[in-house]
Chains A and B, each alone.
Chain A
């Protein structure tokens, strides 16, 4: 009696899993296949599923339409802001995990609050300030502004990581006469590398995906890939294949990173409220 029922529910479960997978993955399938279509094939109505693929769109967007330089800008900005966030954030995280001082919780909450602030609130004042300082359309402006979300992520995840390192290690080193900085650099930071890696990946993903600051602060020379993708939609003859080729180039690196950090993405998005 029980066996057939169980087998049926197993089937139902399998079908549901398949639907979940299709729901998540199908848009990517369509993105990649469209990127391999010529404009003529892309404008078939109804859309075709089988066709001769071509890499012409990739060639064109990378070398003719300046998506190549935009991707390089994106890499420069995302890597630099991540490095800066780790450099500034890990000592702060160590202090939050190890030292007691007044105003600690307020400081902690301020870091978390940044997760909620919309970039549109900061974009215009920063636009005006960067114009005054001659930082408009530079990588530096974006690198600094991206700290508003990368630094809190690094601090949050690394604080958690430092807390998990036994204090006895610090105490033993202290008895040996090591200073706080030495203990941090030589003992705790190497042990906290998993947290540093996870927070770096998350910082990279969030900076890579950012559009609003990039769109407003870096219109030309420092234009990042997502801001570049937006400009494709302007004009009449919408080049579907090229748009999807650009999208693929933008999305593939973050998807790889997301899969690498798949267990921690939710932790990053909820600032640790959900583990």
Chain B
């Protein structure tokens, strides 16, 4: 049963948090919508004027915007399947009984990459991927690969971002999938293992159905976080060389902060916000059924 409480009490408990979040989270959004309807450049403030939906038209027909969207999608398409494959392998190893102490250690080490300051990951990438002084090129040398110019070459810089995205987020995927594996009732898993020797069959027919929610969660969260991705590529390459690593959030930052075209940046970010809200709705519909 629930308590009957006067509305005043409820308002007193919830009011401050709701007001705070509305001020910092909603008010700036409304302001951004308003600014997106204007020509507004910080270096030409006198020319500010209402232009209606012109900025949106410009963004939607701007090849630079779509290229940044395409790059962001490409990063997702390349990095996330690798993260899921590696993550699943790691989760399956950690899920097996035995070697408990070492598995606890491995699990603790998995926590480190995803907690690492994203800007520091960019710096690490710079230092470790350097063509002359970088340790990764040294290691490639040991197996007979010539030093690669990771930072200076467009394609390689993109690969560099993919590598570090994989480093930082594979552990996250692994731990989410590991949590999924532990939802398989042990007696079902045991029975299946008596039936067949093939780990693959157990995975495909017994464990996979229980992993679907975790996989969906990973896909939605990784999509949202790839759209947000700014710190790591920004510290690593500033979006370059050229625009090779200019992902959508990096592009918006450049338009707003380095070209001072706030109206345009606002329009771009509102379009991105629309995508984000669809993702969030989907996530909520799938994962929070029990709170209703």
Interface residues of A (CB under 8 A from B): 10, 13-14, 16-17, 20-21, 23-25, 27-28, 30-31, 34, 42-47, 84, 88-89, 91-92, 94-96, 98-101, 105, 107-129, 144-145, 147-148, 151-152, 155, 167, 170, 174, 180-181, 184, 205, 208-209, 211-212, 216, 226-227, 229-230, 232-233, 238, 240, 243-244, 246-247, 250-251, 254-255, 257-259, 262, 265-266, 269-270, 273-275
Further contacts, 16 of them, CB under 8 A, given A42-B133, A120-B272, A209-B115: A14-B99, A30-B127, A92-B16, A99-B9, A105-B291, A110-B21, A122-B32, A205-B115, A209-B116, A209-B231, A211-B119, A233-B238, A247-B123, A255-B115, A262-B111, A265-B175
Is B116 a contact of A269 with CB atoms below 8 Å?
A: no
Question: Please, what's the 1-or-0 string for B203-236, where 1 marks a CB less than 8 Å from any CB in chain A?
Answer: 0000000000110010001001001101100110
Is B119 a contact of A226 with CB atoms below 8 Å?
A: yes
Q: Which of A113, A125, A243 contacts B123 (CB 8 A)?
A: A243
Q: Which of A13, A16, A109, A247 contacts B124 (CB 8 A)?
A: A247
> Given A117-B276, A274-B176 in contact, is the A259-B111 Cβ separation under 8 Å?
yes
Q: Which of B31, B107, B117, B138 contacts A262 (CB 8 A)?
A: B107
CB proximity of A185 to chain B, nearest CB, Å? 11
Interface residues of B (CB under 8 A from A): 1-3, 5, 7, 9-10, 12-14, 16-18, 20-21, 23-25, 27-29, 31-32, 35, 89-90, 93, 96, 98-99, 102-103, 105-120, 123-124, 126-128, 132-135, 137-138, 141, 167, 171-172, 175-176, 179-180, 213-214, 217, 221, 224, 227-228, 230-231, 234-235, 238, 249, 252-253, 256-257, 262, 265-266, 269-270, 272-273, 276-277, 279-280, 283-284, 287-288, 291-292
Is B28 a contact of A230 with CB atoms below 8 Å?
A: no
Is A98 a contact of B234 with CB atoms below 8 Å?
A: no
CB proximity of A130 to chain B, nearest CB, Å? 10
CB proximity of B69 to chain A, nearest CB, Å? 13
Nearest chain-B residue to A267 (Cβ)? B179
> Given A30-B128, A124-B265 in contact, is the A21-B277 Cβ separation under 8 Å?
no
Q: Could you say which residues of chain B place their CB within 8 Å of the CB of A24?
A: 109-110, 112-113, 171
Is B18 a contact of A92 with CB atoms below 8 Å?
A: yes
Is A233 a contact of B98 with CB atoms below 8 Å?
A: no
> Given A151-B20, A170-B3, A229-B119 in contact, is the A121-B269 Cβ separation under 8 Å?
yes
Is B109 a contact of A25 with CB atoms below 8 Å?
A: yes
Nearest chain-A residue to B138 (Cβ)? A46
Chain B interface, DSSP helix/strand/loop, else mixed = helix
Is B284 a contact of A113 with CB atoms below 8 Å?
A: yes
Q: Could you say which residues of chain A place their CB within 8 Å of the CB of B269?
A: 118, 120-121, 124
Q: Could you say which residues of chain A place their CB within 8 Å of the CB of B256?
A: 120, 123-124, 127
Is A122 a contact of B109 with CB atoms below 8 Å?
A: no
Nearest chain-A residue to B271 (Cβ)? A121
Is B3 a contact of A254 with CB atoms below 8 Å?
A: no
Is B29 a contact of A230 with CB atoms below 8 Å?
A: no
Q: Could you say which residues of chain B place their CB within 8 Å of the CB of A250?
A: 117, 119-120
Offer 22 A-B interface pairs, CB within 8 angstroms, sorted by A: A17-B99, A20-B109, A27-B128, A31-B124, A99-B3, A108-B288, A113-B280, A115-B280, A116-B224, A118-B230, A118-B276, A120-B252, A120-B269, A121-B29, A125-B31, A125-B32, A144-B23, A147-B21, A247-B117, A258-B112, A262-B108, A266-B179
Q: Could you say which residues of chain B place their CB within 8 Å of the CB of A238?
A: 126
Is B283 a contact of A116 with CB atoms below 8 Å?
A: yes
Q: Could you say which residues of chain A place their CB within 8 Å of the CB of B89?
A: 16
Q: Could you say which residues of chain B place their CB within 8 Å of the CB of A233?
A: 123, 126, 235, 238
Q: Could you say which residues of chain A place their CB within 8 Å of the CB of B227?
A: 118
CB proximity of B28 to chain A, nearest CB, Å? 4
> Given A25-B109, A120-B249, A148-B25 in contact, is the A243-B127 Cβ separation under 8 Å?
yes
Is A129 a contact of B114 with CB atoms below 8 Å?
A: no
CB proximity of A38 to chain B, nearest CB, Å? 13
Q: Could you say which residues of chain B place their CB within 8 Å of the CB of A212?
A: 230-231, 249, 253
Q: How far is the CA of A230 from the CA of B24 in the complex (A)?
A: 25
Nearest chain-A residue to B134 (Cβ)? A47
CB proximity of B25 to chain A, nearest CB, Å? 5
Is B249 a contact of A118 with CB atoms below 8 Å?
A: yes
Is B93 a contact of A20 with CB atoms below 8 Å?
A: yes
Q: Could you say which residues of chain B place their CB within 8 Å of the CB of A17?
A: 93, 99, 102-103, 105-106
Is A116 a contact of B276 with CB atoms below 8 Å?
A: yes
Is B98 a contact of A266 with CB atoms below 8 Å?
A: no
> Given A20-B110, A112-B280, A125-B32 in contact, is the A27-B124 Cβ separation under 8 Å?
yes
